[in-house]
Amino acid sequence: MFFVTYLRRELLGRPRQAAVIAAGLALGIGLVVVVSALSSGVREAQGKVLGSLYGVGTDITVTTAVQPASRSGGFNQITPKPYPRHTDVLTSSTLGTLNASAVSSISTLRNVSAAVSGLVLTEITATIPADNAPPQSSFQPPVQTSVVGVDADHTGYGAFSSARLAAGRGFTAADATANVTVLDSSYASAHRLNVGSTITVAGARLRVIGLVQQNGGSNPPQVYLPLARAQQLAKLTGKVNIVYVQAASAALVGAVTDEISKLMPSAKVTNSANLAKGVAGSLATTAKLANNLGKWLAVLTLVIAFTVASLLTLAAVTRRAREFGTLKALGWRSRRITGQLLGECLALGIAGAVLGIAAGFGGTRLVSTAAPNLSAIVQQANIGKDAFGGDLGANGGVFSGQVGGPVTTYANPSATHTVAVPFHAPITLTAIVLAIALAIIGGLIAGSLGSWRITRLRPAAALASVE
């Protein structure tokens, strides 16, 4: 076919020009691929952070703010006694409680595919010194453990969903009020616990039935209990403090959020979009870089690449004017000549896409290799879980006040924790399709401008032009 022969000869016969146009397009496309991969990587990292907070499959969480007067566990005021005491309480200190019936109300809403409740608690064990003890002499900092009560019938939602069973078994419906527990494997290892061991939570002895592996960077819960047993131990029967909601589709998350807000005006309804806004740290900085600077840099490079390709094509048409004039003299219709030119530009666009994607893969690998792990700093008050992820004694969180006098407990409402996220920039199929489409569009823009120039070319003038 002459079209293909001519096209091949032109591209191979003018390699420098073809290389410059293809390289220009490739540069723009490569940058688009890198920025797109960076954005995907950031989204993925955000997803990991959000997943570690929400659990897999959860689109929305519903919580209420803690009311100072309603803090459970009876630990607000501790009156010193003349003898030392050991206390072990399970408290919902960072989240207010909701009636368990809230779950049923939410699950009846339109576009809600699942609603599962949980109880996010903190076990605080401390030894309160005698009131006549010398100040600071025998005070032991309190030990607190993060405990989560999970719905044994629906372990696929909430915090437990992102945990991977490492030993033993998970919860079953029969475990609802049983004295059983599943532990984080790191926690278990640190305390030399294993499947079959026994731990004490709020005075109850619980048998360890399983160990789970979790993303340590996300500061996961250390102890899981069946929800009903957790409610009993925390003296919160009929109460929950978090509801995990799954929308019927990702597109409906916003609508479901609004509906829940209307149903429960005093509740805090959080979805991934508004949770992501609360994420700070290098992850947020990278997200801003990818979404702002990267996006505009890619757009600018693309515009420059398209302009360069168009100008070079126009210059090529001017240089080849006599050739096109000759073809017109031979009886070639303008449409056939422009088709030939468009074919050449399209081929260059495809070459630009291939080179650009290759450059994009190289650039992305470079970024992934050079980029350090990202960290996300998350406001704990917004999370609804892991309220006391760190050593609050050391951080000055839970206990303060004068030993020997009344001890006041409080949770630091602005406390944050940092989640480490390994950065990986994946090149998605969408990015590749986008790159090919952009390169082809770039080629066609250049070709169309060249074609427009050809159609305006008078054969006589074209033949008179000097090459």
Q: Which residues bind another protein (CB under 8 A)?
A: 1-2, 5-6, 9-10, 12-14, 322-323, 325-334, 336, 458-460, 463-464
Q: How far is the CB of 463 from another protein (least distance, A)?
A: 7
Task: Work out whether strand 223-226 and strand 143-150 pair parallel, antiparallel, or are unpaired.
Answer: parallel
Q: How far is the CB of 7 from another protein (least distance, A)?
A: 10
Q: Which is nearer to another protein, 96 or 325 (CB)?
A: 325
Q: Which is nearer to another protein, 139 or 332 (CB)?
A: 332
Burial (CB < 10 A; 0-12, 13-18, 19+), residue 237, is exposed
Give backbone dihedrals phi and psi of 105, rounded to 5 degrees, phi first. -60, -45
Cα–Cα distance for residue pair 303/295, rounded to 1 Å: 12
Cα–Cα distance for residue pair 287/386, rounded to 1 Å: 24
Q: Which is nearer to another protein, 100 or 316 (CB)?
A: 316
Q: How far is the CB of 365 from another protein (least distance, A)?
A: 37
Q: How far is the CB of 334 from another protein (least distance, A)?
A: 8
Q: Which is nearer to another protein, 326 or 368 (CB)?
A: 326
Cα–Cα distance for residue pair 370/327, rounded to 1 Å: 53
Q: How far is the CB of 15 from another protein (least distance, A)?
A: 11
Position of tokens 């480490």? 420
Region class of 219: left (phi > 0), else alpha (psi between -120 and 50), else beta: left
How far apart, in Å, do the first and last CA atoms of the chain sit? 27
Contact present, 161 and 57 (Cβ < 8 Å): yes
Contact present, 277 and 51 (Cβ < 8 Å): no
- Sorted by sequence, the CB contacts under 8 Å of residue 437 that are 6+ apart come out as none
DSSP for 201-263, written as a single string: ETTEEEEEEEEEE--GGG---SEEEEHHHHHHHTT-TTEESEEEEEESSGGGHHHHHHHHHHH
Q: How far is the CB of 22 from another protein (least distance, A)?
A: 17
Cα–Cα distance for residue pair 435/432, rounded to 1 Å: 5
Q: How far is the CB of 275 from another protein (least distance, A)?
A: 60
Q: How far is the CB of 323 from another protein (least distance, A)?
A: 6
Q: Which is nearer to another protein, 218 or 313 (CB)?
A: 313
Q: Which is nearer to another protein, 6 or 361 (CB)?
A: 6
Q: Which is nearer to another protein, 303 or 461 (CB)?
A: 461
Q: Which is nearer to another protein, 165 or 315 (CB)?
A: 315
